[in-house]
Chains A and B, each alone.
Chain A
Amino acid sequence: MSYRATYFDGKTSYPHEVYLRIKKNELEVSKTVDFEEITDVWNVPECKVKSFNAKSNLLITRGDFPGESLQVDGPRADTLHVLLDSNFNNNKRIFDLALRGNHYLVIFIGLIFLSILVNLYLSYVSPFVGDQIVKVIPKTAEMGIGESIISNYSEYFDINEERSETLQAFYASLGYTSEYDINVHYSNVEQINAFATPGGQIVVFEGIIDMCDTWEELAALLGHELAHVNERHSFKLLTRNLGNYVIFNAITGDMAGLTSTILEGAYQLHELSNSRSFEREADIEGLKMMVASGINPSAAVAVFKQLSSYREMGYTDILQTHPLTSKRVKYLERIIKRNKLGNMKSKPNNKAEELFLELKKLLEQDLAEEDVEIEE
């Protein structure tokens, strides 16, 4: 059995017409020069297959730079392809499915498999890898970041140093524990919000202190934020999102249009669910801390009920990323009921109460002053 092929000597692009004969581990290449047949033997193990899709064309090379090459065209390329199977680069074989096999099937099954993989990746791999990275990062680095956030944005947050001290003392009186040095800051901004940076900086906005009716409620709020710090949530979110970003960039860099939009949508949904699961964790850990410090956990329920009423009024931006407030009220109530903490009374904490009332009083004074200003 012999094939017609074209031979290139690597010196010029001149196409030499040759005949190929295939023997066990050899290719016999013969050409006619001056009516004489000259035969050259190519050892199959020394040949490399250079073409990526050998359905209708095949290119075999021999030797280093520049090398000689043999080109086979038409249906015979496919037959020869099978014979030279072991000479393909390893990764080319799986691509045979796409290039020589039924590519519709590859697209169909591949897409299903791909969507399962993307979901597994987002749900399990990236959280796991992200959290491992967080474990390696030293706490001092985390604290540095927290401090720099506060110092860079202190003007924007309008931090009230004097009241921060009172708030800090309030926090200290609660008896919560943390591996971090916690700094609580009082912001004059009238937002109903509070947040924690990595490494132990907690910012409480004036609006939310105004919203709290009892010292236990403020304690519940601080417990929640402290849990974010202790569990290193913002850092974990950062590393997870970074991992997702790298993967999606690699994929969408080669695709365009709506596919990337859809992928980005999936990515943001996962970002949302990541942060929601962190909020839930912080809620529960905060609750535990309250109980450990002898504070009635029902105060947490009261705070979130308050928040949900503000939310309905469209007041608060305490975050679309947080669990639906009504849902979180439900699961907190369930936990309290299950642990029979419903009737728990707070241990008297005069100091905390005193400091809380002091903050409230200062707030009332502010309001009175504002009224005077308006009247004037």
Chain B
Amino acid sequence: LVAIIQNQDLPLQLLQKNPNYNPKLKIALKADGLRLLAVMIINFIFIILTLGLYYPWAKANVRYYLWNETEMNQSRFVFHGKGIEMFKGFLLAYGIIFALNLGIFFSSSSQYSIYFVIAFYLAVLILTPMAMFGAWRYRVARTTWRGIYFDFTGKFREFLSIFYVQIFLTVITLGVYYPWLRAKIQTYLMSHTKFGQYRFSFVGSGGDLFLIYLLLLVLTPFTFGLYYPYFYYQRLKFNINNMVIENEFGEKARPRTTVKVSRVYYVLLTNVLLILFTLGLAYPVARVRSMKLTLDYLDIPVNIDSNHIRQEAEDYRDARGDSVIEILDFGIDF
């Protein structure tokens, strides 16, 4: 028995005969919105006491809590990021933007101001993809479950070339191309994400996403915003049902969300009421409730054996050349 457990190269059929084989993956968010509110209030107090410098630590605290309250098969996720790491990225990005702004401000009557303006737009054009890429990698590489690290194998140069082409297309189509950009970037980020021997990928098409956005745009004015939860449901299905998980035998399977439209309507509409009647204080409660819509209704395919996920990630603290990119996780949520 021990031999079977320890021999990780056995084919799936053999593993399935193993009594310890555990094909069922159940994810549940156990967070309590009011406890999250208490955490956020302490965060806000520190933010004011430190004149705003605590912000990255505050972000880390919220993540520690939410990761810790996400349970998969009786084990919790852990976020290993640190406030100080995010603080460096925060300083770097805001420092550059702030310095260039000051430059524009003080040179505004001289002939040099145009250089500062150009430098500012260049900085934005470089920092935006850095932040998207870095934020994703930071979160992925610092998440563990049962001691196994998630891993991100994307290359920044590759990402940049995709990003600039997509941005160019979005600009010349006056934004119509945006859903395709989103889908392309999501595909790149997901398909370079691994958990042990399991690889993720994403097959959502820009066309599908375009339709989802188009319906929202067209129907929102006629439905007084009541279409929004349906849009939310469609987007949730797009994000989850288009994911692909591939195991070491090359078997591909797709997770599915089992959430019902009625549930989405109920949660989102009551969230609006909650926020309105508490003057916004219940925001963390609402946030946890909508996160549950994603996490609590995941139907994960049986090609994963949750008890035999192998550690394959490299040590993220190894000197990776683009560590600057990684710490730029300062708030662009993708």
Contacts and interface: CB of A to CB of B under 8 A. Distances in A.
Q: Do A and B bind each other?
A: yes
Contacts of A129: 51
B297 interface: no
Contacts of B306: 13
Given A12-B309, A66-B311, A107-B38, A53 B68 contact: yes
Contact of A259 (B35, B78, B196, B279): B279
- Contact residue range for chain B? 35 or more
Contact of A98 (B39, B68, B308, B315): B39
Contact of A59 (B58, B61, B78): B78
Contact of A95 (B51, B61, B149, B313): B61
B76 A51 contact: yes
A250 B55 CA distance: 6
Contact of B108 (A8, A15, A34, A148): A148
Contacts of B110: 144
B148 A66 contact: yes
Contacts of A94: 42
B147 A99 contact: no
B167 interface: no
B51 A247 contact: yes
B51 A69 contact: no
B45 A117 contact: yes
Interface in B252-304: 275-276, 279-281, 283
A127 to B, nearest CB: 13
20 contacts: A11-B311, A12-B308, A13-B146, A13-B307, A14-B20, A15-B307, A33-B2, A52-B61, A52-B65, A52-B68, A57-B68, A66-B313, A71-B146, A99-B35, A111-B41, A151-B109, A152-B108, A247-B47, A247-B51, A261-B280
Interface of A: 6, 8-15, 33-34, 50-53, 57, 59, 61, 64-69, 71, 73, 91, 94-95, 97-99, 103-104, 106-107, 110-111, 113-114, 117-118, 121, 125, 129, 141, 144-145, 147-148, 151-152, 243, 246-247, 250-251, 253-262
Interface of B: 2, 5, 8, 20, 32, 34-35, 37-45, 47-49, 51-52, 55, 57-59, 61-62, 64-65, 67-69, 74-76, 78, 80, 83, 105-106, 108-110, 144-149, 196, 275-276, 279-281, 283, 306-311, 313, 315-317, 331
